[in-house]
Amino acid sequence: MKDPDIKLYALTTCIHCKDTKDFLDKCGVDYDCVNVDKLDDDERRRMIEEIKKANPGCAFPMLLIGPKVIIGFKKEEIREALNLE
Amino acid sequence: MNVEQLYEFLKKTQEAKGYFFHKDKTRVFHLLQGLLENRERYGYMCCPCRLAADDRDRDRDIICPCVYREPDVAEYGSCYCGLYVSKEWNEETIPHSYVSERRPPEKASR
């Protein structure tokens, strides 16, 4: 079965983002990661608008697993969304 | 100032106020490195777990230690990043729950 599309919006300095990356890596899943703090001005503005649609406070990390949005490092929610035991 | 110096300086000043560094020094150093990086990027030590607006006035509430540290440590025993915690949190006599973002959404970066 193909993995759902997974996209992580993160900050390079954020510890919860690091925890999320480490956890996804440990689970062996493929994901795209956007480090929002490293984007240039225009791209960053565009990305913030996109993030705010699902996450008005623009909190990090924000993880999209298929249709599911997980804000913050919520291990159990991630595990469930990935259908992991 | 390097991470080690920042650690020693903040440890002394913040412990005196009742705020302790997380007992995992690796996490603390990652966060302190983020603070130094933000100082380099923005000119002030903005919270490493939040997106700075690169405008000191807009970011005033999230310059570390942020204004949410006090209520977060009072409620959860930890600040949003887990950089500063209470003595009880480090001693694991209180539960370690995820700290929800207390900053009002309208203050987020534009």
Q: What is the DSSP string of chain B?
A: --HHHHHHHHHHHHHTTT-EE-S-HHHHHHHHHHHHHHHHHHSS-B-TTS---S-HHHHGGGBSSPTTHHHHHHHHSB-SSSSEE-HHHHTT-S--PPPPP-S-GGGS--
Q: Say whether pLDDT at B109 is over 90.
A: no
Give the pTM.
0.94
ipTM: 0.93
Q: What is the pLDDT of residue A48?
A: 96
Q: Measure CB to CB from residue A58 to each of B30, B35, B108 and give the nearest one.
A: B108
The whole-number average pLDDT for the span A52-75 is 96
The whole-number average pLDDT for the span A28-55 is 95
Q: What is the pLDDT of residue A3?
A: 63
Cβ–Cβ contact B52 with A under 8 A: yes
Q: Say whether pLDDT at A61 is over 50.
A: yes
Q: Which residue has the higher pLDDT, A1 or A42?
A: A42
The whole-number average pLDDT for the span B88-107 is 95
Phi, psi values for residue B55, rounded to 5°: -145, 110
Q: What angle is formed at CA B67 by the lines to CA A57 and CA A63, rounded to 5 degrees?
A: 30
Q: Say whether pLDDT at A1 is over 50.
A: no
Cβ–Cβ contact A16 with B under 8 A: yes
Q: Measure CB to CB from residue B101 to each of A13, A18, A57 and give the nearest one.
A: A57
Say yes or no for a CB contact (<8 Å) between B48 and A45: no
The answer for residues whose C-beta is within 8 angstroms of residue A16's C-beta and 6 or more apart is A60, A61, A72, A73, B49, B81
Type and span of the H or E element at A53: helix A41-54
The whole-number average pLDDT for the span A60-73 is 96
Confidence band of A40 (pLDDT split at 50, 70, 90) = very high
Say yes or no for a CB contact (<8 Å) between A16 and B49: yes
* d(CA A2, nearest CA chain B) in Å: 31
Q: Which residues of A35-64 are buried (b: 16+ CB within 10 A; e: fewer)?
A: ebbeeeeeebeebbeebeeebebbbbbbbb
Residues of chain B found within 8 Å of residue A16, distances taken between Cβ atoms:
49, 81
Write the pLDDT tens digit of every residue in B1-48: 899 999 999 999 999 999 999 999 999 999 999 999 999 999 999 999
Say yes or no for a CB contact (<8 Å) between A48 and B110: yes
The whole-number average pLDDT for the span B73-82 is 98
The whole-number average pLDDT for the span A12-27 is 97
Instruction: Return mean pLDDT, chain B.
Output: 96
Type and span of the H or E element at A7: strand A6-10
